[in-house]
Structure 1
Amino acid sequence: MKLAAALWDMDGTLVDTEPYWIDTEFALAEQYDAAWSREDALSLVGNDLLESGRYIKQRMRLELSPDEIVEALLDGVVARVEESVPWRPGARELLADLHDHRIRCGLVTMSYQRFVAPILAELPPETFSVVVTGDQVEQGKPHPEPYLTAAAALGVRPQECLAIEDSNTGAKSAEAAGCTVLVVENHVPVLAGPRRIFRPTLAGLTKADLPALLP
């Protein structure tokens, strides 16, 4: 099967921003003298932001709404990413190689547009043909809607797309949409699955390596 497009997760896959989110969650807990743990933080990796907001509200026993919690988190992580974008090894190089070979890429992230914008600003303007963010979909990962939306916007079948992910939540979303998933684990372990291929890193991968990963 030909490779029609590559669909990229962002947090933990394209950029290693999960520590920014975790630090901001702990800062929120400290601000409100609330309980929070690293296990709590890691359980949110890959999640829809509003779902994370609901979990934080319940776990920290906050009077803030889930939306207010999400906005507070975004204030913290946007400030961090505007200072420094922590790219994952091999990510920019693979993006550039795919662009050179006219393989279109889509960004499929549960982060909101205002967090995505400063990261995209560090890449060439035509890097992503489509950007799907968490504030643009009705149902976030692990629901297939984000990946189905990206494939439809590109005018390709999900089965012809390779999704690149680092979490179980994201891998479930891409698999349910029909994509093959290239999993590069980062902060959390990812379960094996029938459409999941595991690699330790994106470093050294080129466009020539990717078609062989498709069924």
Structure 2
Amino acid sequence: MTRFPLQAVLFDMDGTLVDTERLWWEAVQCVATGLGRPLTEADQPEVLGRPVEHTADWLARTTATPSGRLGERLHDEFTDRVRTGVVPRPGALELLDALARDDVPTALVTASPRSVADTVLAALGADRFRVSVTADDTPRTKPDPDPYLAACAALGVDPARCVAVEDTATGVSSAEAAGCAVVAVPSLAPIDAAPGRTVVASLEEVTPDRLRALVGPRLRVLSWNLWLGGAPVDDHRAKQLKVVLDTGADVVGLQETAHTATAELADALGWHHHQAGENLGVLSRHPITARLGDPDVGFYGAAGVRIAVGSHEVDVWTAHLHCAPYGPYEADLDGLPAADLVAHEEVRLGQMRETLGRIAASGRPGVPVVLTGDFNCPSHLDRPDVPWPVTLAAEEAGLRDSYRRAHPDPVRSPGATWSPLHPVHEDDPSRPEPQDRIDYVLYGGPGLDVADSRTVVTGVPRAWPDVAGNDWPSDHAAVLTTFTLTGPR
């Protein structure tokens, strides 16, 4: 498959590259307070990511103040702060320099006026950008697509082959309306992940390779333990279908399928499927060309399929490893030392080694592999004080952790999947339940880049045992990883 080149990266300015979103909020807060109407969190959509004119008109209406010089006052307050307080966001200059080394064009696309943008450009280095588009340069600004379309036109690039980097919902709407892939780095207000949109905590998590992975053909892989097929939750099958459709998943590795869930979901979706034993299954919107592993696998073990994604083939496996003894309980509740914790992983380690052996035996040169699953154990990448052997064995076999590829810092992005239903221990409510990442999407071989990875939970589930009415029909969070199929390098 042809590799799609990244043609350009388009950066928002305020709050994305420089910490001016806070300065803008402070400027508006200063003027609004002087008018007797201090801002609240509910006012953020009218302020963050908005041009001066919009916020001035809104503030005039809100405070019954003649608009007159409000825009000029806001501009002056903001500009004074910018001149003395421009601070690059963490990772911003490093990312710009990395893109320059790779000869990837960049543009500045902002809803601020030209006078403010030029002040910031002088601080960042105007030569870092081939093009800059401000609120003065298009008839309409964000959230309309005009600024991003103008930047793409000036660069001579296709918006569909560009990535926009934004920090507000207003900017995200503008970039997506223009047809760009989006990396969102929320500053003051949260932004939800969505298909085609990657949310990160910091630009320090973003690399040119990760941006390239956003503009090629994609494969979205969901790993999900259905929790006894979903039986503890009312109307669970309809809720499961909604999750698959809402995530935009292309292939789903399932555990705890209770004999029938895989086939029933596949029939409802009109997808291909493979059910292995009573507990494991794979759903795929793409054709299944081979079924891999033991079709009569027991409750614990692994099974896989080979799917055809256009001209590419990908092996996708699902695994469920034994649930006891549970390392986080022994570590956090019982205080066992690292050597004992490692020794108690023997059963799961044996199951992982058997899984890795089956993957290797059925693999073909040039065919990448994805291993989904509930491993029932933490990762050595999350808890480095213990060399957790199950995930180490997978790493030594050449499999990489997609979630940690997208979110390298386990403190900033813990990614816990056990458990959204158990804030406290089921048998002893006085003890908090350890919250750990025990569900995974691993990958190996050529042809896959991680564009995004995130945990998935629908709504705010009620805690056990009051779970029957939950929108989320599982006791685990799921893991959704978006891969770009890159083809031979």
Q: TM-score range by the shorter chain?
A: over 0.9
| 8 Å CA contact 1:147, 1:177 repeated in 2 | yes
Equivalent position SS for 2:136: helix
Equivalent position SS for 2:189: coil
| 8 Å CA contact 1:36, 1:60 repeated in 2 | no
CA distance in 2, matches of 1:3, 1:64: 43
CA distance in 2, matches of 1:203, 1:111: 24
CA distance in 1, matches of 2:33, 2:189: 24
2:323 alignment partner in structure 1: none
Equivalent position SS for 2:192: coil
Equivalent position SS for 2:123: coil
**Alpha-carbon offset, residue 168 of structure 1:** 1.0
| 8 Å CA contact 2:185, 2:200 repeated in 1 | yes
CA distance in 1, matches of 2:188, 2:108: 20
1:133 alignment partner in structure 2: 134
CA distance in 1, matches of 2:20, 2:195: 28
Equivalent position SS for 2:107: strand
Q: Percent identity?
A: 38
**Alpha-carbon offset, residue 98 of structure 1:** 0.8
Greater alpha carbon shift after TM alignment, 42-51 vs 111-120 = 42-51
**Alpha-carbon offset, residue 193 of structure 1:** 2.9
Q: How does 1:86-165 map to 2 (within 5 A)?
A: 86-165=87-166
Q: Give per-residue Cα distances to partners, 1:14-65, cap 9 Å, x unaligned.
A: 1111221122122212333x21322254222112332222111111221133
CA distance in 2, matches of 1:124, 1:52: 28
Greater alpha carbon shift after TM alignment, 108-117 vs 35-44 = 35-44
CA distance in 1, matches of 2:205, 2:145: 29
TM-score (norm 2): 0.42
1:45 alignment partner in structure 2: 48
Greater alpha carbon shift after TM alignment, 73-82 vs 159-168 = 73-82
1:187 alignment partner in structure 2: 188
CA distance in 2, matches of 1:180, 1:171: 9
1:83 alignment partner in structure 2: 84
2:72 alignment partner in structure 1: 71
* AA aligned opposite 1:24: A
* AA aligned opposite 1:206: T
**Alpha-carbon offset, residue 11 of structure 1:** 0.9
| 8 Å CA contact 2:32, 2:59 repeated in 1 | no
| 8 Å CA contact 2:95, 2:206 repeated in 1 | yes
Matched, 1:207 2:245: no
CA distance in 2, matches of 1:116, 1:145: 17
CA distance in 2, matches of 1:117, 1:150: 16
CA distance in 2, matches of 1:192, 1:75: 35
**Alpha-carbon offset, residue 204 of structure 1:** 4.7
Equivalent position SS for 1:164: strand
Q: Which has the higher strand share?
A: 2
Q: 1:96 to 1:197 in 2, by over 3 A?
A: same
Count of aligned pairs between the two proteins:
212
Q: 1:175 to 1:94 in 2, by over 3 A?
A: same
TM-score (norm 1): 0.92
Which of 18, 28, 37 lines up with 2:31 in the alignment? Answer: 28
CA distance in 2, matches of 1:36, 1:170: 24
Q: Which has the higher helix share?
A: 1
| 8 Å CA contact 1:180, 1:195 repeated in 2 | yes
Q: How large is the RMSD of aligned CA atoms in angstroms?
A: 1.5
CA distance in 2, matches of 1:200, 1:18: 16
CA distance in 2, matches of 1:191, 1:48: 23
* AA aligned opposite 2:84: E
Which of 4, 17, 23 lines up with 1:14 in the alignment? Answer: 17
**Alpha-carbon offset, residue 195 of structure 1:** 1.9
Matched, 1:55 2:58: yes
Q: Give per-residue Cα distances to partners, 1:59-84, cap 9 Å, x unaligned.
A: 1221133xx32221111111111112
Q: 1 or 2 for the larger relative contact order (CA 8 Å, sep ≥6)?
A: 1
CA distance in 2, matches of 1:206, 1:30: 41
Equivalent position SS for 2:164: strand
Q: Give per-residue Cα distances to partners, 1:121-153, cap 9 Å, x unaligned.
A: 122332111110012111111111110000000
Matched, 1:178 2:179: yes
